[in-house]
Structure 1
């Protein structure tokens, strides 16, 4: 294509498997804090100290990201106030913004907190927390309103990131209690799920009244190294009906074109269920969990956009490894359409800053010109 597309046009064309002036440039979902700290000693300006500034510095296609909970909490408004409950020389036990009690290292390392407790245990505790999940809480969409006003010409895609159903169940009950609840408290889970649908129907209707989003994306993270955390039978019983109802509303009533889903790990077994429910964009396809985007595209030629699938570990193994990984994935995937070149998770701290820049230059040249 001769004319330069806007970021909004480029994303929509990619999702429709249509030609674009160049690939979407969003080559990672994020950066470890320790990565940016390391890079400050290797030439990264010190003011580039979190994901958004690093995205802009790296020349990513801009978007208007509307944060609606996702990995941080299940969409609470207001969130819980963080509260330190106890601490010693190494650890802090605190209540976080999701209402969960967690144990974290005090040295600032990016490790997964140790879960100790979560706010929902039964119907009574669920009823107590439900007011935080009111779709019309005043101020819930203030960030979205400001972003929409900023992009009055609609050049950037409006992308809303919200908490999926498995993610909501896990935030509220905790993983261990959730696994038991599938067997012992199914009615509670169905009650939460019914409210989940009502919550996000209301929130997205309010958002669409200001401007229709180009993408609504669910955070799930419901798979691990060897497969999904729940099997297809449990998914069909506890998630599919609610997915179908909500996604049907988002696509049918609100005409939102892209329904994304973020899950780490090996998700192969759940892809048919995601697609059947209406998901048409998936990421990040972790290579170390056995995800091969070339095979996924052969199995699913045009059903969904693939974002990711390049092994992040290659970026720490030198430029020959970077070149090999780019050549393995990018040309064949772009030839099939519906692909956003990216590594398969956040950039870890063993990646040199110079090699991150090399990776961006190379992947963009292979994808059709370097550009600024």
Structure 2
């Protein structure tokens, strides 16, 4: 069984007969790997080498910067092969420039089009003006993004970035985990967090125009990408909930978010995408039925410290798939704590449809020794993946 088959089987509610997939939820935290280098991890995995972001302009949008370095790091640690990549609509295409400088601060236009005041004498960055405040701003940004895409997001460049992985992926040497920004996340980055929430009520037509634009781009470009590489998992970044619940109501979700997934997900499936996941922190349980109606398969990272109990959620939603759900804060507490946490989530491992991993990036408070123990126990636990399935 190759790495692609192991992952699909594990998430597909199959009894894996002792061969459940072993993978981590997210790419590693830079501070963590730098600590682990001091404790025995080879220096070639230090963050200055792992997080390489040097390439052609089009790779900022057809992004595979972390695909090979993180793959090599995870292979060294004994994980199954995963190549992580993404597609980004070119909203962050501004040239940085200084608008005003004083003895105390620099007011700048940043690459995402925001104006920010960067203070010199203290670690403080003030958000002065978002890139979108009104319809005129949006029309200007939309035109900029379309022009940037016309120049850089060509079919030729798409093939250069993603095509080089096609042959080995088709042989199952690794799975592909693909990222894109969702229909809640993207407008929030344009408006700002508070302004975004007001916009649902104050500027609903503008909100719909933004998400319709995103949808149309995704239907064209994600469809083409999926014909080159069929991701085992595509993640849409949303982060639409906090520790006390979602930031929007089910009704607002259905109108401004779910409706767009309902249009997009069938196209992704037609082009070979196997699993559509939502990446959101916090407690989002109230919106799970709405996500499912929109066609979503599963969720990550199942934030334990925000109250997401994977055992209880699986009882309510027996066919929902999960990635993550291992309390990352238990790793730095040592072997007994790690064993207890695995015992907590083992019933869901045995039910299938679940790829265990940390419920976010493993923090630098965890020692390399404890992280290696966590990986060794994860491998043991995954021998029971889907064991309760007849």
Shorter-chain TM-score range: 0.7 to 0.9
Cα distance between partner residues in 1 of 2:318 and 2:101: 52
After TM superposition, the structure 1 = structure 2 runs for residues 228-247 of structure 1, keeping only pairs within 5 Å, are: 228-247=246-265
Would you say the 8 A contact 1:100–1:171 is kept in 2?
no
Aligned residue number for residue 288 of structure 1 = 305
Would you say the 8 A contact 1:224–1:266 is kept in 2?
yes
After TM superposition, the structure 1 = structure 2 runs for residues 68-147 of structure 1, keeping only pairs within 5 Å, are: 68-69=87-88, 75-76=89-90, 79-83=93-97, 94-102=108-116, 115-134=127-146, 137-138=153-154, 139-140=157-158, 142-147=160-165
Q: 2:354 aligns with which of 309, 330, 339?
A: 339
Would you say the 8 A contact 1:217–1:260 is kept in 2?
yes
Q: 1:38 to 1:80 in 2, by over 3 A?
A: same
Q: 2:285 aligns with which of 268, 279, 294?
A: 268
Aligned residue number for residue 36 of structure 1 = 33
Q: 1:97 to 1:8 in 2, by over 3 A?
A: farther
Q: Does 1:328 align with 2:347?
A: no
Q: Does 1:180 align with 2:195?
A: no
Aligned residue number for residue 24 of structure 1 = 21
SS at match of 1:158: strand
SS at match of 1:230: coil
Farther-moved stretch of structure 1 (96-105 vs 222-231): 96-105
Farther-moved stretch of structure 1 (130-139 vs 172-181): 130-139
Using structure 1 for the length normalisation, give the TM-score.
Answer: 0.86
The Cα of 1:169 is off from its aligned counterpart by: 0.8
Query: Where does structure 1 lack aligned partners over 5 or more consecutive residues?
Result: 70-74
Report how many aligned residue pairs link the two structures.
354
Cα distance between partner residues in 1 of 2:128 and 2:213: 25
Farther-moved stretch of structure 1 (90-99 vs 171-180): 90-99
Cα distance between partner residues in 2 of 1:190 and 1:217: 22
Farther-moved stretch of structure 1 (337-346 vs 20-29): 20-29
Query: Where does structure 2 lack aligned partners over 5 or more consecutive residues?
Result: 51-69, 385-390
Aligned residue number for residue 309 of structure 1 = 325
Would you say the 8 A contact 2:227–2:272 is kept in 1?
no
Would you say the 8 A contact 2:230–2:274 is kept in 1?
no
Using structure 2 for the length normalisation, give the TM-score.
Answer: 0.82
The Cα of 1:210 is off from its aligned counterpart by: 2.3
Aligned residue number for residue 72 of structure 1 = none
Farther-moved stretch of structure 1 (86-95 vs 141-150): 86-95
Q: Does 1:63 align with 2:82?
A: yes
Cα distance between partner residues in 2 of 1:151 and 1:193: 31
Would you say the 8 A contact 2:169–2:175 is kept in 1?
no
Farther-moved stretch of structure 1 (23-32 vs 139-148): 139-148
Q: 1:64 to 1:28 in 2, by over 3 A?
A: closer
SS at match of 2:9: helix
Would you say the 8 A contact 1:16–1:338 is kept in 2?
yes
The Cα of 1:342 is off from its aligned counterpart by: 0.8
Would you say the 8 A contact 2:92–2:113 is kept in 1?
no
SS at match of 1:341: strand
Farther-moved stretch of structure 1 (47-56 vs 174-183): 47-56
The Cα of 1:311 is off from its aligned counterpart by: 0.8
Would you say the 8 A contact 1:78–1:132 is kept in 2?
no
